[in-house]
Structure 1
């Protein structure tokens, strides 16, 4: 397990501003924080080096890409297939419909966030990538009606 640095109030405020808009200029961030631009830039570099900031990204509306439906699919592997968790995880990384997935502790082994054109696309995804996979014991599909993101760690 990696060591996580202690964040002060300035770091937390900086992270909140970047989460709101990661394209905000260093000058604007420094002004909002009340620090010199060099201090702000040094903080960002330190947060990146410590892997607190893992990447800068763009949040794209899935509907703009023709992906009008989202689903969360819970997956349980067969009891005798626990040794296949890592290979199964590697397979999931290659599937374009998967937005993200989580390896879980608890009743389910994985939670997969899938983007699709419509319900038929989601159904086909489950059939092709999950139900036909011999390591998969059970799936449960939940359609997402709305996806709301909140601030993280503020």
Structure 2
């Protein structure tokens, strides 16, 4: 799927999205023009979705992380779509997955504190039509938080 230059570009940009094209070219061993063309192709193909800054949640007053598992009462397409669209719109939601097993969805939430979590779950989750069972799991310590995808 990717040749060695594409893999080098992707690995380098995951580690440092602010690297200049010239620095990237020198690092991977291609000309600036060839590197630029490859990066543009990866962007246009949707492989590179965006460039962003990673923040430390505890330093921006968002120190409480919770993982919710949610089961819906109804599993028709309209009910699931409404739930998925609504939950996806919440800024507190970092990750949101449809899953297998006892629950239907897993939601990774970050909020300031337990009071904020209580408000989130009562005002934004329990009020949604079709929500059945909800379980909350709170992170005690962060052991790994990696954003780099293994490219090879």
Return the TM-score normalized by structure 1: 0.87
Distance in 1 of aligned mates of 2:146 and 2:98: 20
Q: 1:40 aligns with which of 35, 38, 61?
A: 35
Q: SS of 2:95's equivalent?
A: strand
* 1:31-78 Cα deviation digits (max 9, x unpaired): 110111111111101101111111111111122221111111111111
Distance in 2 of aligned mates of 1:25 and 1:109: 43
Q: 1:85 aligns with which of 80, 84, 89?
A: 80
* 1:99-136 Cα deviation digits (max 9, x unpaired): 23123344322211111111221122112222232311
Q: Is it true that 1:153 corresponds to 2:129 in the alignment? A: no
Structure 1: any 5+ residue segments left out of the alignment? 1-5
Distance in 2 of aligned mates of 1:49 and 1:150: 21
User: RMSD of the TM alignment (CA)?
Assistant: 1.8
Partner of 1:125: 120
Return the TM-score normalized by structure 2: 0.88
Is residue 12–residue 153 contact of structure 1 (8 Å, CA) maintained in 2?
Answer: no
Distance in 1 of aligned mates of 2:103 and 2:53: 30
Structure 2: any 5+ residue segments left out of the alignment? none
Count of residues in Structure 1 that have an aligned counterpart in Structure 2: 149
Is residue 11–residue 43 contact of structure 1 (8 Å, CA) maintained in 2?
Answer: yes
